[in-house]
Structure formats: structure tokens, C-alpha cells
Structure 1
Amino acid sequence: MHSRRELLSRTIANAQRFERICFELAAIKAPSKKMKAIEVAAHFANGTGAGVYRSRELEAALSELAKMIASPIDPGKTDRSGVLHVMSTAFPWGGHTRVVERWIDLDGEKRSQSVVLTEQGTQPVPKLLNDVVTNAGGAIHRLRDKKSIETRAEELKSIALGYAFIVLHIHMHDIVPSLAFGLPSFPVPVIFYNHADHRFSVGMEVAHAVAETRSWGRALTGARRGIPNSKRLGIPLSIKETGSSTDQGFSRDQLSIPKEAKIAIASASQYKFQPFLDLNFFETVKKLLRRNNRIWVLLVGVSETFCRQQLIAAGCDAYDLQRVIPIRACDEAQFKSYLKAADVALDTLPENGCTAAMDYISNGLPVVSRKTFIGQMDYLIDQPEYVRTDDEFIDQVLGLMDANNDHKITAARQFENLNNDCRSEVFLGRLDDLYTSATVKNPVGLADGNLFHGFSDLDLFHTHRTTLI
């Protein structure tokens, strides 16, 4: 594992390289080549730690290129209606697409909802996304990947002009919306949903409103992106999530887990489990297993090879390894069967799982989370299970597994907090305010030229992730 000094040195080098990349853009004259170079630059800034979360240079170049994107005839349309959700790619797993599905499901009772996909390629569109869009009276548009960036931007612009609102749920490198909506005269209000609030992104400059998932992201957007008035929208609960209780024994036999065992579960994409400096999920698991030999751990979303390597590196023995079961990413029904077998949920380290925590709590599982530089969702920050140290984390987990402790009381308290912050009426109220705000504001515009405030652990973390590729 790299030391803090090594990561800082690499981060400084990354920042210098990104500056050079931006400087060299001016020498590229061919529009198609410049678009590709900007996309590559955005990939670089998003994929590593460079101390930047927006770039004035990239946004200015995109703004100039947007002038050449053809506009369809639009004689002051007055019949625009519905919401167009712009996604780069829709996935069958993970939280990103689930958020869009829930948004459409809830808001679809008021407004028609459609989706356009800029980078889906030949990947199938998830069935649930198809279903909620159909139920909301909308359509799914797929831009053809083999077309040039410019052509895709023109197609997106043409589609978008028929809607009352546009919401960007895009990947952080996706420049197609910036090109399509980059002129100040573009007539449809654009909302940027900042789903990756801790990462660099393009696209905010064309938005009339920036929506955040949490207060932590709103603070970062103010400090590191120069946007002081973003709005906290949150992540909506699914209508079907009603705080159902757990059902012990549902899948223990098929996983060969003893009936007397206590089960902890953690779920996330594999990269969220990668150790960083003193934040090592697998060392925490080892301590937990050593403190109570009846505990078994389900890790959903990781490979067996990765899990075994990390556990051995953390000093786990054969008995420890036997009690940690890695499970590949699975569909929602299978995932919920694992939740029904568990007693407590472990939030991931160093990067927490926002929608996963909602799934835990909504299914009657209390979750324990560790305070880190990446922050947490608002519904958990005032809970006693949100702790500072490894020892406090383990004590909380063991306490919830204690036979004398009714963990359902903790689960009910956490669900009440979650429900108060994320239930449909609350989300829809914030959403109506967001739509109104977007109609009366000018676009955010280009980033300020002086947004660098030194390097933090967040920047080092992004660099660390790059070294693992």
C-alpha cells in the first residue's frame, strides 16, 4: 500500500499533468479532435486525484464548441412537457440506475418521464427502467455510440427541445450534454444531479440548478466547484420499501452457514472495499471475527479472488476465511434474500454505500458506518451507529448482535430517520422546488479560475484508486 507521502507526490504530478493537458487544448484546431481531447482530459481528471472538481478550461472549450452544434427549427415552442433524464449508461446493478428508476416512478404521476442514453452501446436497458418509463408515459432514446460526439450532441439537442425539463444523471466525463445545451439561449431548464459528488465532473456549467444527494456534497460543491446555491434533493426511497422486518433462516442452508451463527452483510462495487491508508475494511472484519467466533460475513459485489487476497493480507487465518462468503453482484431479488438472512449491515470502507444503506435499513437491518473524509448521507449523520474509530465500529456491531439487545429497535429508529428524509412526499416536495428554481435561474456558467484549495485526503484517495488499475 502506498504511503501518504507517495500519494501526495503522485497527486501533485497529476495536477501538473492536467494543467498541461488543458493548456495543450488551445493548439488543437479540428473540432472533432478537440472534442475527443476534452473527453480524454475529463476521463483523466475524474479517474485520478488532481485536486480539481471542475475545470474552467474544459468548460470554456466546450462552450465554444457548443456554438457549432446545429439547432433544429424551434420557433419559441410553448407545448413542451415532461422530463427528459439524460444518462450515459443504464446498469442492471448498483445504485446509480436505481435512483433514476425511483425518480421516474415517483415523479411519473405528475409528469411524463423519458430517458436518453448517450453511451449505452449494445448493452441491454434494464427491464425495470423500461417499465417505469413506460408507466410514466415516456420513451427511451438510445444515441448511437458509433456516431461522432458532435452528431450525438445534435441528436440529444433535437430530442431535448420537446421537453419542459432536462435532468443530467451523466458519467463525469460525458461531454455530449455540455455540447448540446452549452448555449445560453438554450430554452429548456437543465438540472444537474450530482450523483458522484466526491468526483470531478463536466456538465454543471450548462445547468440552471445543481441537485445534491446530501449536505456533504453541497458543501464540497460550494467550496471546490464555486457553486454556492446547489440544492439538496437526496435519494428517493422506492415506493415498495416500507421497512419490512428480517426473516431469519431464509438462505442460510444454501450458503452452509450454521443456524446459530450471526450474520453481517456488506454490499458494494468491489472498488469501494479497496483499503486506503488506515481505512481497511478487511482488517476491521478480521477484528470482528476474532471478537466473536459465531459471526459470519457476507460480502456482496466482490470476487472470491479479491476477497481472499485482501483477507490474507489483513492477517486472517483459515477459520476467518471460512466465515467470510464473497458473492458476485446479483439481482435485487437475490440480494434481498441475503438481507433477510442477516442480523446487521456493515457500511463499506473507505467509500460508503449510499443506496446500499437505504436497502439495508428499508429491509429492517440496522447499519453501522464509519466517519471518513467522504462523508455520509444526512439520515445517518446523527445516529449513534455512525462512529469515528474502528473500535467503536466493532463495539456497535457486536452490541447489535448481542442476544440481550433487540436490534429491531435500532433498525426501527434508523428507518424512521431514513423515512423522514427520503420518503416519497419529502422527495417530491424538494423536487417541485427544484423544478421551480431551475425555471427562474440563469445557467451556472463557467467555473471560477481559482478553485484550488490544496490537496486533501479525498484527492489522495482518488490517486490511490488510480494506482490499483
Structure 2
Amino acid sequence: MSRLPENKKYLKKTLKIAELLYNCGRYNDCLLYIEKISHSAWFNFPGYYTINALESIIRNIALKNITFEEQIVPEHQEDRTLHVFSEIYPVGGHSKLMFNWIENDDFSKHYLLSTRQDLDSISEIAKVYNFVIDGNVFTYDKKLTPIVKAQKIANTLSENNFSRIILHIHPNDAIPSMVFSSEKIKSPVFFLNHAEHTFWLGAPIIDFLLQIRATNIQKDSDNRNIPADHQFFLPIPVNQSYNLKNGDNKIFNIVSMGTESKYEPNEEYNFLEEALQIVTKFDHVIFSIIGISANNHNRKKYQHERLVFVEPTRNISKYIEICDLYVEGFPVPSFTSLLESALTGIPYVLHYNPSDVYKVFELTEKDGFTYPKDIQEWHNTIEKMISDESYRKHMTKIQCSYVKDHFSLDAWKNKLNTIKKSTKDTKHSTRDIPDHEVFRDGKDEEIVSVIGAQKVDHYKFTERLGFFPKLKVVMLSFNNPSWVRILSKKKILRYLILKYI
């Protein structure tokens, strides 16, 4: 069941509140509010991949409040890449993608800049990825207001020259939209589209969009107003990290990996139930699903001695090295896990009848394999992989060659070098922000709208408004979705009369 109508309806209300904060001159509160509702739009997807009204407000605040100095770029300089991120984590594809880039792009000198995280936190996480911190990280006091922080980052950029700037930011991070709203910053800005399936801030300030899936190029040209010739396909860089070992021939090991939310059943897809059916039918199959926390409510419901739920871990080698078949999870697949397994030489079965937003491969008949069209074909394919060794070996050769040709580290390096060459003379520029919004309500959007309901506080960051603007906020608090937190009547009265400096 689609949640697009309710998500869209509430978004429209929040846009009125954002405009209210802006018109009342509460610029820092407005920016914090925009980040809050952008976080909501990220998870409670409203059918908009970019929201021009918010981008316009952010740009106007930046141009009114930030002093930009002309960035002087020397004619000849070493290749320097600045990676801008909101936050990084010791586990997860988002952070791994950035550090993989740094590790494998050895031609460039790499720098980090965080809009939200302190140096101590970054240092601890960087150790996990073997990244050496030595005067190459820019951080800022977390207590700074958005405008002051954006000013300090703008100053950093004016004092340092980079060959390119790569945004690895969270979808609700408004700071880059402020900092790069001026063309006095000369370094070209690239956005690595890790959250390609949903809403994110920043489309008007990027020079180039890097797509981890080629299928997104035309889609984002239509939905985010980014011309196709300003986009590049740069796949997830994957190296062969594991080696297969000879396991017990009497046991057939199936593995799937992903964060537990990606496996949460919905009305159309139930990966856990299908996995349970497989181990029930085949006595020699062990099916390990990696990424399910110890207290996950599904563990008891789908309990079976050969359906193994493994807690989130970086130590996955013992599962991969004896794996006979990798099965892509659903409703939401994990691309990196699939690719790493394939490069190890493991055959795989893909998500059945996936939305375009969940296809990592752009397959044709000549590739020799495809996405199963329905659940029956999915089961038939898995059963044939289990029972027919010659078929499994044939598919291993075809599938793993495909991944090696398109997603291996060498393929990634070649694509990155091509991108660098074709953009080396580019100077940063901003795009005009359209005055209309592009709404989509197709199958892709319906699927994304129900991934998860994220709670949002209706009143947060509006407390400093005057009485009458607050009254408008109250009027917009009625008849909202259940995931919107509102105040009781008693607290509404206190909210209205409470004065803030």
C-alpha cells in the first residue's frame, strides 16, 4: 500500500512552515527545520526527488549571510580530492564506499571534511578503514549555528585548492547547499549518489552527478533537473577480498547480506519466509542471513535450525569462503554485498521482479542471465542452482565475468580516470532553480514510500516565532499522519504564549 498521498500532504504543510521561518528572519531555525523535514522526506518519501522551494530558501539564506572569497586555483598543482561527508560509521556501505575510493585512487592526495562530526569520532572510525589522519581532515565545532559553520567551511575552501570536491553527504544535509551556492568556489563539485532511490538536498549546486547505477542517469535528468551529460556512471568499486575454500560437499551453503531493515517483509515481498521454505525443502541446505540483530522480532517467527541469522559484523569471511550460492535480499537489496560475493567466484540469484530503483545491473539477453520475473521463477532458479552442478558452474562463469567486466576495481579505476580527464578544466557553477516541483507516483515511488515511517516533531525549531506565526504552525498540526508528533492542548497553549529571545 502506497504512503505517497499522506507523505506528500504533510510535506506541503512543512514547506509553508519553512517559508514562515524564512520570512520571519529566523534563518538558523529555518535551516535546522529544513534539515528536519528533509530527514522526514528521505524516509517518508513524498514523491519528490528534489524540492526546489527548499533549495531556493537555502540559497537565499546563504547569499544573504555568507561572505564568499574568490578561490584562486593555481595553473599547475598536484591532484587533490576533498571528500565532504556528514557523518561516517565503522560499518555500512555509505562509509565503505568513500574509503574504497580513497584507498584505490592512489593518484590523488585525499582530504576529508565533515559537516557534523568531530575529529575524535572520525579518527576512531578512520582506523577501521586504515586511513591515516595527518593534517588532512577539516572539522568544525558541532555547537556552531548552521550559518556560522557554513561560513567557516567557505573560508576553508577559499584558503585551499582542490582538483575536485566529492559530496558523500546525508540526504538532509543543508550545509553543502549553502557553501556551494556561490561560484566564487572554483573546484568542481561532484555528488556521489548513494541514496539514489529517494529525496536529497543539493541538486542545484552540483556540477556532476556520479551514479552507482547507470539506470539512474535518465531518471535523475527528469526528476532532479540534472542534465544527462552532467552525469557519469561510476560503479561501486569492489575488490576480490575473499578466497573460496573447499567446504563440506554434503552441505550446500547459501548466504545473503544486508542491514536488517532491508529484509523487513512487506505486502509483496517476504525474503525470510522464502528462505524458510528453501531450508525446509532441502535437508542439506544451510541459509545464512547476515545483518539481523540479536533482538530482531523476526528471529523467533522464522526459526529453523538451518536458517541462520547472523548479527551485523565486519567479519564475514568465514561465511563467504564456504558459500555455494549468494541470494540477493529483498524487498531492499544490498548491492555491495552482492558484488563482493560475485568477484569471489560465487554464483548468485537476483531479486525477483524488482523495481528499477533496486536494479544494480542493466541486463540484456546477451548477458545470459536476468532478474527472475516472479517468485516462482525465483524459487525455480534457486532450486536449479542447488540441484544441478553443471548449470551452477555455467552460471558462475557468466555471472562472475559480467561483474568483473563492469564492477571490478580495474573497471572502476578506468572509469574514474575517464571522468577526471573529461572534467579537469571545469569550474564550479550553480544551476538555476526551477519554480515548479516534479512529482512522481509510479511503482518505484510507491515502493520507496513504504520502506519505513520515520517520526517527526511538528513543532521543533519553530519555538522562537511570534504569536501569530506560531498560530499558523498550530493550524497546520491537525489531520496529519500518525508518524507526526504533535502537542497536547495544554502544551499548545504553553507553546503559543511562551516567549523566546
Normalised to the residue count of structure 2, the TM-score between the two structures is 0.80
Q: 1:211 corresponds to which residue?
A: 210
> C-alpha deviations, 1:421-466, integer Å up to 9, x for none?
1233432333234333374376452443444344123333333233
Q: 1:463 corresponds to which residue?
A: 449
Q: 1:30 corresponds to which residue?
A: 26
Q: Which amino acid aligns with 2:139?
A: R
Structure 1 position 347 matched with structure 2 position 344:
no
> C-alpha deviations, 1:289-337, integer Å up to 9, x for none?
233222121111112442635x72xxx5x6xx22111111112xx2122
Q: 2:224 corresponds to which residue?
A: 225
Q: Which amino acid aligns with 2:57?
A: A
Structure 1 345/468 Cα, relative in aligned 2: closer, same or farther at 3 Å?
farther
Q: Which amino acid aligns with 1:156?
A: I
Report the more deviating stretch, 203-212 or 413-422. Answer: 413-422
Q: Residue 389 of structure 2 is aligned with which of 404, 407, 413?
A: 404
Q: 1:93 corresponds to which residue?
A: 91
Q: How does 1:237-256 map to 2 (within 5 A)?
A: 237-238=237-238, 240-241=239-240, 245-249=243-247
Alignment gaps of 5+ in structure 2: 456-501
1:358 CA drift (Å): 1.2
- Asked if structure 2 preserves the Cα contact closer than 8 Å seen for 1:216 and 1:375, the reply is no
- Asked if structure 2 preserves the Cα contact closer than 8 Å seen for 1:118 and 1:144, the reply is no
Structure 1 position 287 matched with structure 2 position 277:
yes
Rounded to whole Å, the distance in 1 between the matches of 2:363 and 2:391 is 19
Q: Which amino acid aligns with 1:261?
A: I
Report the identity percentage. 17
Normalised to the residue count of structure 1, the TM-score between the two structures is 0.85
- Structure number with bigger Rg: 2
Structure 1 110/58 Cα, relative in aligned 2: closer, same or farther at 3 Å?
same
Structure 1 264/468 Cα, relative in aligned 2: closer, same or farther at 3 Å?
farther
Rounded to whole Å, the distance in 2 between the matches of 1:415 and 1:21 is 47
1:245 CA drift (Å): 4.4
- Asked if structure 1 preserves the Cα contact closer than 8 Å seen for 2:68 and 2:182, the reply is no
- Asked if structure 2 preserves the Cα contact closer than 8 Å seen for 1:205 and 1:443, the reply is no
Q: 1:388 corresponds to which residue?
A: 373
Q: Which amino acid aligns with 2:208?
A: A
Q: Residue 345 of structure 2 is aligned with which of 347, 364, 369?
A: 364
Q: How does 1:24-423 map to 2 (within 5 A)?
A: 24-28=17-21, 29-68=25-64, 70-71=66-67, 73-74=69-70, 76-78=72-74, 81-107=79-105, 109-121=106-118, 123-124=121-122, 125-127=124-126, 131-132=130-131, 139-161=136-158, 162=160, 163-229=162-228, 230-238=230-238, 240-241=239-240, 245-249=243-247, 260-306=250-296, 308=298, 312=301, 316=302, 321-331=304-314, 334-370=315-351, 371-373=353-355, 374-378=357-361, 382=367, 384=369, 386-402=371-387, 404-405=389-390, 407-423=392-408
- Asked if structure 1 preserves the Cα contact closer than 8 Å seen for 2:190 and 2:209, the reply is yes
Q: Residue 21 of structure 1 is aligned with which of 14, 17, 20?
A: 14
- Asked if structure 2 preserves the Cα contact closer than 8 Å seen for 1:237 and 1:358, the reply is no
Q: How does 1:444-455 map to 2 (within 5 A)?
A: 445-455=431-441
> C-alpha deviations, 1:26-84, integer Å up to 9, x for none?
22112111111111121121121211010100110111112245446546342765010
- Asked if structure 2 preserves the Cα contact closer than 8 Å seen for 1:101 and 1:128, the reply is no
Structure 1 187/467 Cα, relative in aligned 2: closer, same or farther at 3 Å?
closer
Q: Which amino acid aligns with 1:375?
A: Y
Counterpart secondary structure, 1:19: helix
Report the more deviating stretch, 187-196 or 219-228. Answer: 219-228
- Asked if structure 2 preserves the Cα contact closer than 8 Å seen for 1:298 and 1:326, the reply is yes
Q: Which amino acid aligns with 2:107?
A: K
Q: Which amino acid aligns with 2:289?
A: L
- Asked if structure 2 preserves the Cα contact closer than 8 Å seen for 1:225 and 1:447, the reply is no
Rounded to whole Å, the distance in 2 between the matches of 1:283 and 1:202 is 37
Structure 1 466/424 Cα, relative in aligned 2: closer, same or farther at 3 Å?
closer
Q: Which amino acid aligns with 1:24?
A: I
- Asked if structure 2 preserves the Cα contact closer than 8 Å seen for 1:231 and 1:434, the reply is no
Counterpart secondary structure, 2:192: strand
Structure 1 462/358 Cα, relative in aligned 2: closer, same or farther at 3 Å?
same
After superposition, the CA RMSD in angstroms is 2.7
Alignment gaps of 5+ in structure 1: 250-257
Structure 1 357/69 Cα, relative in aligned 2: closer, same or farther at 3 Å?
farther
Rounded to whole Å, the distance in 1 between the matches of 2:149 and 2:217 is 31
Pairs aligned (count): 440
Q: Which amino acid aligns with 1:400?
A: M
Q: 1:12 corresponds to which residue?
A: 5
- Asked if structure 1 preserves the Cα contact closer than 8 Å seen for 2:80 and 2:108, the reply is yes
Counterpart secondary structure, 1:306: coil
Q: Which amino acid aligns with 1:354?
A: F
- Asked if structure 2 preserves the Cα contact closer than 8 Å seen for 1:87 and 1:168, the reply is yes
Structure 1 437/77 Cα, relative in aligned 2: closer, same or farther at 3 Å?
closer
1:186 CA drift (Å): 2.3
1:405 CA drift (Å): 3.0
Structure 1 268/73 Cα, relative in aligned 2: closer, same or farther at 3 Å?
same
Structure 1 404/27 Cα, relative in aligned 2: closer, same or farther at 3 Å?
closer
